């Protein structure tokens, strides 16, 4: 795979899947802008990247705030690929999910990718093409008690993926998603007690390492996936394919 000189913006890159995606993209030659709210963690990840090459940047931003998003877009400038990875879930029964919790998940998991894509897809098209990768979950297509609002937000993101593939494909912009199974990141640590049950139903019988997810994301950013668009690629150890 080759990303030589390509500019990539990775949201949620201060941790987990985003961090590994940024590191792998740099290994393949990309110039990466990483973002997240936590300045200390952002500087730490930037330090890991600049050890390899010196042209990468960290821009702190809360993607749930449209004003901060607009500033991020201004400061980051044009990119060849966008990874909409920032996201989170609140584990709660529907009746215990607050309105703020619901709105918060939709702001980060749906509205932020929507605003970022609305800003970047036209500039990618004007530059001759580009790639957008959205990070989803198997919970978008499989019911899971306690994750109703989260699953709905990621199902919206998968729907947007298909709509954007139709809208921007004729202009050379490919839009895909990866649908993750359980992945060993800080976000999944509080669910450690559920992991044995979850992984028992996964053909590969284990959770993913974030690096394994990053490899699929980076592939979808590269020209090697030039005929892939509108796809939601399961990166879930086979969970969605079996009973």
Ligand X SMILES: NC(=O)c1ccc[n+]([C@@H]2O[C@H](COP(=O)([O-])OP(=O)(O)OC[C@H]3O[C@@H](n4cnc5c(N)ncnc54)[C@H](OP(=O)(O)O)[C@@H]3O)[C@@H](O)[C@H]2O)c1
How far apart are CB 35 and ligand X at their closest, in Å? 7
- Name which of 25, 41, 22, 16 is nearest 184 in CA terms: 16
Active-site residue flag, 150: yes
Among 3, 10, 15, 133, binds ligand X (CB under 6 A): 15
Residue keyed to tokens 């932020």 = 112
Cα dist. 135→10, 24, 171, 214, 216 in Å? 11, 16, 22, 10, 11
Candidates 88, 120, 150, 219; catalytic one: 150
Q: Decide if residue 21 touches ligand X (CB under 6 A).
A: no
Rg, C-alpha atoms of the chain: 17
Residues 83-142 contacting ligand X, CB under 6 A: 85-88, 108, 135, 137
Among 9, 17, 149, 221, binds ligand X (CB under 6 A): 17
Encoding tokens for residue 154?
Answer: 């990621």
Kindly give the interhelix angle for 148-168 and 112-126, rounded to the nearest 10 degrees.
Answer: 20
Site string for ligand X, 138-177 (x = CB under 6 A): ----------------------------------------
- Residue numbers at the binding site for ligand X (CB under 6 A): 12-18, 36-38, 41, 62-64, 85-88, 108, 135, 137, 180, 182-183, 185-188
């Amino acid at each position: 795979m080759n990303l030589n000189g390509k500019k990539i913006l990775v949201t949620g890159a201060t941790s987990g899947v985003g961090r590994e995606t940024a590191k792998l993209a740099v290994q393949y030659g990309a110039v990466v802008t990483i973002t997240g709210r936590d300045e200390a963690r952002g500087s730490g990840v930037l330090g890991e990247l600049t050890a390899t090459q010196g042209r990468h940047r960290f821009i702190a931003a809360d993607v749930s705030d449209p004003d901060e998003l607009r500033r991020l877009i201004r400061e980051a400038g044009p990119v060849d690929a966008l990874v909409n990875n920032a996201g989170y879930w609140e584990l709660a029964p529907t009746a215990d999910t607050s309105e703020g919790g619901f709105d918060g998940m939709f702001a980060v998991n749906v509205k932020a990718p929507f605003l970022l894509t609305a800003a970047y897809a036209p500039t990618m098209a004007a530059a001759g093409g580009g790639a957008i990768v959205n990070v989803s979950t198997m919970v978008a297509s499989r019911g899971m008690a306690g994750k109703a609002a989260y699953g709905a937000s990621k199902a919206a993101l998968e729907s947007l993926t298909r709509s954007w593939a139709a809208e921007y494909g004729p202009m050379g912009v490919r839009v895909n998603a990866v649908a993750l199974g359980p992945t060993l990141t800080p976000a999944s640590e509080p669910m450690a007690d559920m992991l044995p049950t979850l992984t028992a139903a996964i053909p590969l019988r284990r959770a993913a390492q974030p690096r394994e997810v990053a490899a699929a994301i980076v592939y979808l950013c590269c020209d090697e996936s030039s005929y892939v668009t509108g796809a939601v690629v399961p990166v879930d150890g086979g969970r969605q394919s079996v009973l």
